[in-house]
Structure 1
């Protein structure tokens, strides 16, 4: 779909990013700007510097996703890019301490979504596949205390696209793991650099 139409009426920064950046890097800019703006608006205790770092983290996360996709997954006829990962990035980089942002929830949620959705696709439910996949994913995540909202979106995507069994691992779980690794490295860098910047 047309990204500019989707963002019609939203932040000017997002529209500008779509115009000046090559298509390949538009999602990086959108994710970074969204994380930055949502953090600034939603939390009064978050400083501007924190918000900027959150956006930078998301940008690095998507840069890592593109690199992994192009050099690791594509040669294997796989991928690690899908829309729900935008929401994963928001959680990991702007709300790293939230229960839904913990590796257990991120990985567990995607494993549950993948397994449930694969079963639903194999059952060939004609009209209610997405509903069944999302509902069962939410139920199991809640029971196992692994609630991760983007996993629900991945369950919908999986069934809607009729993915093959490999969809249990890629692109959702694989992409989430790349983002987690990037987040863990970035948080250590942020913890070392941010206090020094705030002193100046």
Structure 2
């Protein structure tokens, strides 16, 4: 008499990780110190454009996930500040009578254009949520309580500036499994990133 044994393989736990990239070296340095080496995935990168920054952190964050989860893990994008800036930039373009509007001027403001290059190249098949008007704390809580096997949250955090057409960007992406999100040290100082600030254990405690 033969016996058939069913073997169930359980995937390894997904470690919580944070990826960083920026168009400004000083902002990247501050964010790197705030995050700490233990939580970083990949080398923080200085790049030329916000699109390159977002692509870099998404590649590193999704790369930290198991192969079976990488193509299907949902992506939440915090885009409130970027959406407002992009809309204002388009309005400014419309009022520049000396400059002819191009089709790209109406497409460029969309936050989807920041994440599209990576998602397309990677063949990502999971859901992507572009969230404006929602706090970073609320998104972290939403993603954590949704019961995903793995999740990535990305934020293109804009740096202060007066140029109506260009702003430097600090891109942050946090990835984790079905457990808790990454928690920064309690001594973490505030950064331009609402996501990093929300992941600070000190701020989580104060807001509890």
**Normalising by structure 2, what TM-score?**
0.27
Of the two, which has the highest radius of gyration?
2
| Greater relative contact order, per chain length (Cα 8 Å cut-off, separation 6+) | 2
Higher percent of residues as helix? 1
